[in-house]
Amino acid sequence: MTEKRMTADEAVSRIEDGMTVGVGGWGSRRKPMALVRALLRSPVKDLTVVSYGGPDVGLLCAAGKVRKAVYGFVSLDSIPLEPHFRAARESGAVQALELDEGMFLAGLRAAALRLPFMPVRGGIGSDVPRNAPFLRTVTDPYGSGDEVMAAPPLELDVALVHANLADPRGNAALTGPDQYFDDLFCLAAKTSYVSAERVLPTADLRRAAGCLHALVVHRYLTAGVVEAPRGAHFTECPPQYGRDEAFQQAYARAAADPREWAAFADRFLDQPDEASYQQAVDEFHAARADRAGGAR
């Protein structure tokens, strides 16, 4: 049995400059943030990031790690626009391949199935192909005259996903209400790393997951397993925890001003490891609770 447990830093040390990295989750929901923070600590650069984008894209843009972003949207959900992504686009710092969400899904499926493209209706007639002129349409080879987009395969060098549970061999369970596209990201990637709230023996996985249908990330997909409690913070990871709205607000506020952002990054991100980040988050909440107490 191959034992795949490793640290977040070990996982991201396998990522090289210029690679295409797919990030699971959705918006500000169950993002593999501990792995993203490890990427921020690493020297890697010039990444192409493929994501149903949230603060993962924003943080990587803010750290200058992103050459190109491939996305259907980038949002913090409760805060509609991602401030760092906005700044990166408005300064022209990153290239953008903006796809329709369904075309994005078709691209992941094409890569997962090793197909040269996947037909999809969404995109035709819109400015998606105008802003990405390499995109092509295909005409129905069976003669109806119907024309659809040929979604290009979103082939990933690496996929990063965060699960609720995993075993040491790389099986993982997504137990929340939406599994998003994490298994597809893994299938579309050469190599995938899964972080999880808890790593437990294979024999306990199904019972802990509560439902067989949650076990959708399989060990043939994953090269590394990282135990990362609160590893999706500050995005949500139901049923374990909701989004840390107070922290996300602090993040978005700080992002609006370079000096405040430097202080935020110093306090939370320029840390030697994930444990120090989590401790800084605990201190952030303790300080807020103190202030609320003092106000009474």
Partner 1 sequence: MITTATRAEVCVAACARAWHGDGEILASPMGTVPTIGARLARATVAPDLVLTDGLAQIIDGDVALGAPTADLTVEGWLPYRAVLDLLASGRRHVMMGPAQIDAYGNANISCVGDWERPKRQLLGARGAPGNTVNHATSYWVPRHSRRVLTSRVDVVCGVGNDRAAALPGPAARFHDLRQVITNLCVLDFDTGDGRMRLVSVHPGVTVAEVVEATGFDLVGPEGAGEALTGGVDVPTTPAPTTQELRLIRDVLDPRSLRDREVPA
Positions touching partner 1 (CB under 8 A) are 26, 53, 71-75, 80-81, 85-86, 89-92, 98-103, 105, 120-128, 130-131, 139, 144-148, 177-181, 184
Nearer residue to partner 1 within complex by CB, 143 or 272: 143
Smallest distance from partner 1 to CB 14, Å = 28
CB of 212: closest distance to partner 1 in angstroms?
Answer: 14
Record the tokens describing residue 189, joined without a space: 């990637």
> Whose CA is closest to 79, among 221, 275, 254?
254
Q: Which of 18, 62, 58, 12 is CA-nearest to residue 38?
A: 12
Q: Which lies closer to partner 1 via its Cβ, residue 81 or residue 113?
A: 81
Q: How many CB atoms lie within 10 A of CB 178?
A: 11
Supply the minimum distance, in Å, between the C-beta of residue 38 and partner 1: 26
> Nearer Cβ to partner 1, position 126 or 279?
126
* Residue 122 and residue 149 in contact, taking contact as beta carbons nearer than 8 Å: yes
Q: Which two tokens stand for residue 183?
A: 């298994």
Report yes or no: 138 and 148 within 8 Å, Cβ to Cβ. yes
| CB of 54 closer than 8 Å to CB of 81 | no
To the nearest whole angstrom, how small is the minimum distance from the Cβ of residue 81 to partner 1? Answer: 7
Q: Minimal CA–CA distance to 9: which of 265, 163, 235, 226?
A: 226
CB of 52 vs partner 1, minimal distance in Å: 8
Of 98 and 273, which CB lies nearer to partner 1 in the complex structure?
Answer: 98
180 vs 234, which CB is nearer to partner 1? 180
